[in-house]
Amino acid sequence: MSMNPTMMLLEEMVIFVRVVESGSFSEAARRLGISPSAASRGVSRLEKGLSVQLLQRTTRKLRLSESGEEIYKCCRSMVSSAKTVLGMSAKYSHEPEGLVRISAPKALGRFVIHPLIPEFLRLYPKVDVQLLLGDHHGDLIDSNLDLAVQVTDHPAPGLVGRCLFPIKQILCASPDYLAEHGVPMHPLELERHFCISEGDLSQGSRWQLKRGAELLKVQVPSRYSINLSEGRLDAVMQNACITYLPLFIAQAELERKRIAHLLPDWEFIGTHSHGSAWLLYQPTHYLPLKVRAVVDYLVEKVRGDPSLRAASLPPCDDVPVINDAGEPGHVH
């Protein structure tokens, strides 16, 4: 059977998409499991087959040509559609099976998502899970992810969003620290305490707290900052400071009475990790059973955990699928 010349370039189109996404032939080759020279030859064959230059090559970087920009969008759409086709077969299998790749912020993944995975693996013996922890949001397609957990006020358009829980930040300190330095009864009293932040010390540490319609900005003394919530928790446990932590990190130590919640009538307005925790995935009419199983399990477990429901914050709602035209869509 003869094959249309265009069909013979499908593999080269995939290579081209991965090269653009990764920014280099070597990284694209690593992701595809081929040699860099094979990746370079694949793009050259595609350029020859289409009779256009797709990439402008320099010694330092690759840049899409004008025609390459348009062709890349079409090829990327083709790769996404191919994944949908593969997912259709899983939809009709009798039980979930296969690998599910999930990304999540370090702290949220460690304290919320990770503890739930062992039970999921027992419930679904044919599903494997790869949990990737990091605080940089990666594109679902570029990073070959099935699901992404992100903390945000506004989930990225073009994705399906299942809201897990609102993030609440609290101020806390250890009982020993408070016994030595006193308990602040008003936000302005924080100016007399040693505080640890996560921002740039050169710009000072300005904390915002809200009670009803009242909003206060307090310049707190801070000689140390660390952009890791677990590090700030450790500093509190060493009786070193007052700091702010997501409630899901502080909860266990609060229950053990090893730390105390300060100024509970005031809401701490975080500068970094604020908003809600969202479980995001690509819109598709044929969501693979393995992915659907993880989504349903995490939503049920996390939303059903009373320790993650902050009484002072409203529950979050799911968001609809937004298609390329900016119109609501549906997922089955």
Q: Tell me the pLDDT tens digit for each residue of 309-328.
A: 654 455 555 554 433 333 33
Other Cβ atoms less than 10 A from the Cβ of 184: the count is 19
Q: At what angle do helices 10-22 and 25-32 cross, to 10 degrees?
A: 120
Question: Which residue in the block uniquely carries the two structure tokens 């460690």?
Answer: 110
- The CATH number for 98-167+275-308, chosen from 2.40.50.100, 3.40.190.10, 3.30.110.60, 3.40.50.10190, is 3.40.190.10
Provide the 3-class DSSP secondary structure of residue 312: coil
- Give start-end residues of each CATH 1.10.10.10 domain in the chain: 5-64
Pairing of strands 260-262, 169-173: antiparallel
- Give start-end residues of each CATH 3.40.190.10 domain in the chain: 98-167+275-308, 169-269
- In whole angstroms, what is the distance from residue 143 CA to residue 140 CA? 5
Phi-psi map region of 218: left, alpha, beta (phi>0 left; psi -120 to 50 alpha):
beta
190 neighbors 220 (Cβ within 8 angstroms):
yes
Superfamily of domain 169-269, CATH level 4: Periplasmic binding protein-like II (3.40.190.10)
Both tokens assigned to 8 = 């013979």
DSSP letters along 36-55, please? HHHHHHHHHHHHHHHTS--E
- Tell me if the domain spanning 5-64 has CATH number 3.30.2030.30: no
- In whole angstroms, what is the distance from residue 331 CA to residue 66 CA? 34
- Residues 56-78 have pLDDT tens digits of 877 677 888 888 888 888 888 88
- Residues 85-120 have pLDDT tens digits of 766 665 556 789 999 999 999 999 999 999 999 999
Please give the chain's pLDDT, 332 residues, in tens. Answer: 444 555 678 888 889 998 888 888 888 888 888 898 998 899 999 888 888 898 887 767 788 888 888 888 888 888 888 777 766 665 556 789 999 999 999 999 999 999 999 999 999 999 999 999 987 766 676 678 899 999 888 887 778 889 999 999 999 999 999 999 999 999 999 999 999 988 766 555 889 999 999 999 999 888 888 888 899 999 999 999 999 999 999 999 999 999 999 999 999 986 555 688 999 998 877 788 999 999 999 999 999 888 776 544 555 555 544 333 333 333 33
